[in-house]
Amino acid sequence: MTAAACGLAAALAVALAASHAAAQSAPTQSTPSQSTPVPKPAPKVRDVAQTAPAAAKQAAPAVTGTTNQPPPNPIIPDPRNRAPTNIFATFDANQKAQASKVSNYLSSLTLLAGNFVQVGPDGSKTKGDFYMQKPGKVRFEYDAPSPIAIIADGSAVAVRDRKLATQDIYPLSQTPLRFLLSDRVDLMKDTNVISVTQDELFITITIEEKQALIGTSRLMLMVGVKDNQLKQWTVTDPQGYDTTVAVYNLEQPKKLDPGLFKIDFTNYSIPN
């Protein structure tokens, strides 16, 4: 996988993500380069009702935000403003309330779909669609010409590169955003929160995770103050590189095609 492709995977095996860039030297499984998985194209979010299977058509998505919004401009954090580790030993009542509000929102999500814009460490932008079903399932489809697709099936994360004809498999438990796909989320209890701030637009929560063999990574979540919806996240890998993902056109469908989250571990041939 190229360095650029690894950067994409690092951000989104995301939602899921710093672990792919940090752990790419030791994947648990990699498919041979001579074969490539070509997943069934996921339906565009705006066309779910028209393209989903018959059962899904009977339960059209309930729109939670304004659809067909233009892609947002992600807010890129200033690396000079990084908070040192462990300076936030305690939090006041207001900060705890903000963290609780975000935790409750994340816990309330069961199905989510939308679009995303990603800004890599080199400033490059890519777009695509994502689909999430808790617990543990998510799919990211990048728009062409990117060959990347990322799928989590509840226990594993597959990073597919159709151009290089590879698929790498990683444990979902090794991704720093794994708690977002849990049934219940308690940021203060389940993660190492080092910063909680709020301005007129966003509640921003920064989480730090240390792994002995990989190093320290950080995740910065930003939730809208007015609509209480997830707006973006930034993953800082152990080398200090940032990848930012902004989400928009969010919908909470009543049903998603289970095939979106299927990882084929045995058949990687190109269909006719």
Residue with tokens 């935790």: 103
Neighbouring-strand partners of residue 99: none
Query: Any residues with CB less than 8 A from the CB of 205 and at least 6 apart, and which?
Result: 98, 99, 102, 187, 193, 195, 196, 220, 221, 223
195, exposed or middle or buried, with CB in 10 Å at 0-12, 13-18, 19+?
Answer: middle
- Residue type at 169 in one-letter notation: I
What are the pLDDT digits (tens) for 177-217? 677 788 898 999 988 999 999 999 999 999 988 877 778 88
Q: What is the pTM of this model?
A: 0.70
- 32 has a pLDDT exceeding 50: no
Strand ranges (E), the chain: 29-30, 62-63, 111-119, 125-133, 137-142, 148-153, 156-161, 166-171, 193-198, 202-211, 215-224, 230-236, 242-252
- 42 has a pLDDT exceeding 90: no
Mean pLDDT of the chain, nearest integer = 75
At residue 267, φ and ψ (nearest 5 deg) are -115, 110
At residue 118, φ and ψ (nearest 5 deg) are -115, 135
Residue 261 or residue 58, greater confidence? 261
pLDDT number for residue 89 = 56
- 130 has a pLDDT exceeding 90: yes
- 265 has a pLDDT exceeding 70: yes
Distances (CA, A) of 27 to 112, 138, 217: 28, 19, 18
